[in-house]
Chains A and B, each alone.
Chain A
Amino acid sequence: RMKEGEHIPTPDISHITCDPRFKDQVYDPSEDTFLFLDALELQKDFLKQLNPSLCLEIGCGSGCVITFLASILGSSSYYMATDINNVAANAALETARRNKISLDVINTDLLKHLIPRINKKVDVLLFNPPYVPTSEEEYLDSIKVEGNDMLSAAWAGGIDGRQVLDRLLPFIKEVISDNGCFYLVVVEENKPKEIARILLKDGFTGQIVKKRTARNETLSILRFDRKKASSG
C-alpha cells in the first residue's frame, strides 16, 4: 500500500498465517481487505469530524479492518465486531491486542442478539460480506453451525453473492445512528446499483469511496449515509 502524507500502517496480522491456532481457519486479508483499508484511510478526515462513539464491524475475520479504523480514530470510540467463526473471533482479538486496540468481539451471526439494543447507536458500521456468487446450496452449507468449513462462510455469498448481505440490509435503517454511516464492500456481480436502490428507499444515499479491479474482480467500497433534509 503506497500513500503520500501521514500514512497509517497496516495492522500487524502476521499471526493470521503463522499462528497454528488461526492458520488456514481465518480469511487471510486479501485485495478486498486492503482496498477497504485504503478507502478508510481516504475517509480519515470525514471519520475524525464525525467523532463516532460506537464503531462496529460485521464479519470481522482477522480483525484487520476494525483495528485499522481504531488506529485512525483512537480511544474516543468504542469498537465492537462480530464473526460467525469462533476461530476468527479469537484471531481478531489477537489482532487488536497486538496493535494496542481495545475491541470486543461477539461470536454471532451478523447482528443477532445485538438488535434491538444497538438500534440507532452505531455511528460507523463496516461490512466486507461473503460476496462471491455461489449456488444457494454452497452458501447454505457454509453457514451450517455443525460440521461446516468455516473458511467458506467467509466468502460464499450465494445467488449474486447477495444472500448474506440481503439478510442484513433491512436492519441498516434500524441500527445506524442519525449521523452515522455504513461502509460496504461489493463486487460488480452483487448488483451495487440495486443495493443502492434498496437503501435509498430506506433513506440512505450512497457513494463510491474507492474502486479497484484486481484478479478479475471489480471491487468497490461504498458508503451510505442517512439522507439529510435539504436546508434553506
Chain B
Amino acid sequence: MRILSHNMLMCNVKGCGAGNFPLRLAGTPVQNESEFNQEFMSHMYSKLDWPALKQACGDVGITTLPEEPPANPEGNQEFLKTLHDIIIDTHIQQGSLTCNNCKRVYPINNGIPNMLLNENEV
C-alpha cells in the first residue's frame, strides 16, 4: 500500500464519527523507484489532504516531507519529486491502519489493507 492510498482511507465502522480520518499508520516503509511524471504529480497534489500526509509520515518515520508545501507547489519540480518519492514510491507491506476515534485496527498484509467489517460494525 502506497502512502497516497493511506490519504484516501477512513474508518467506516457504524457510528464512528469525527476523528475517523486520517487513520494512524504503522509499518516499515519500503522504498521503490518509479518514473516521475510532473503533470501527474501536479494533479495528485491537489487531491492530497496535507495534514493527513504529515501524520502518516510522522507515524512511520518519513522525515523528508517539508513542514508546509512551497508557494506554487504545482510548478515546483523539486517539491513534486520529493512528494513523488513519498506518496508514490513509499510502500507499507506489513503493518496496520488504526482509527483514532474508535480504535478499530485494520491489518495490512502483503501490502493489502483488510478493511472488511464484522456484521456488528456495519
A-side residues, CB < 8 A to B, are 51, 53-54, 75-78, 80, 84, 86, 89-90, 93, 102, 104-109, 112-114, 116-118, 121, 145
Known: A53-B43, A114-B9. A90 touches B112 (CB 8 A): yes
Chain B interface SS verdict (over half): loop
Task: State whether B118 touches A145 (Cβ < 8 A).
Answer: yes
Query: Is there an interface contact between B12 and A112, defined as CB atoms closer than 8 Å?
Result: yes
Known contacts: A53-B40, A75-B35, A75-B37. The answer to whether A106 contacts B115 by CB under 8 A is yes
Cα separation A54 to B35 with both chains bound (whole Å): 16
On whether the beta carbons of A84 and B116 are closer than 8 Å, the reply is yes
Whether B1 contacts A104 by the Cβ 8 Å rule is: yes
The reply to whether B4 and A78 form a contact with Cβ atoms under 8 Å apart is: yes
Best-surrounded residue of A54, A89, A108, A118 (most CB of chain B within 10 A): A108
B2-A104 in contact (CB<8A): yes
Min CB gap A26→B, angstroms: 14
Which B67-116 residues have C-beta < 8 A from chain A?
88, 110-116
Sample (28) of A-B pairs whose CB atoms are under 8 Å apart: A53-B44, A75-B34, A77-B40, A78-B4, A78-B40, A86-B112, A102-B2, A102-B34, A104-B1, A104-B2, A104-B4, A104-B5, A105-B111, A106-B112, A106-B113, A107-B113, A108-B115, A112-B115, A112-B117, A113-B9, A114-B8, A117-B8, A117-B10, A117-B21, A121-B47, A145-B116, A145-B117, A145-B118
Q: What residues on A are CB-neighbors of B35 within 8 Å?
A: 75
**Nearest Cβ on chain A to B118's Cβ, whole angstroms:** 6
Using Cβ atoms and an 8 Å threshold, which residues of chain A touch B114?
Answer: 86, 107
Roughly how many angstroms separate A109 CA and B112 CA in the complex, as a whole number?
A: 14
B contact residues around A51 at 8 Å (CB): 39
Nearest-neighbor residue (CB-CB) of B11 within chain A = A113
Q: Which of chain B's residues 1-48 have a Cβ closer than 8 Å to chain A?
A: 1-2, 4-5, 7-12, 21, 32, 34-35, 37, 39-40, 43-44, 47
Q: Supply 9 further A-B pairs (C-beta < 8 A) apart from A53-B47, A145-B119.
A: A80-B5, A105-B112, A107-B112, A112-B12, A112-B117, A113-B10, A113-B11, A114-B9, A117-B7
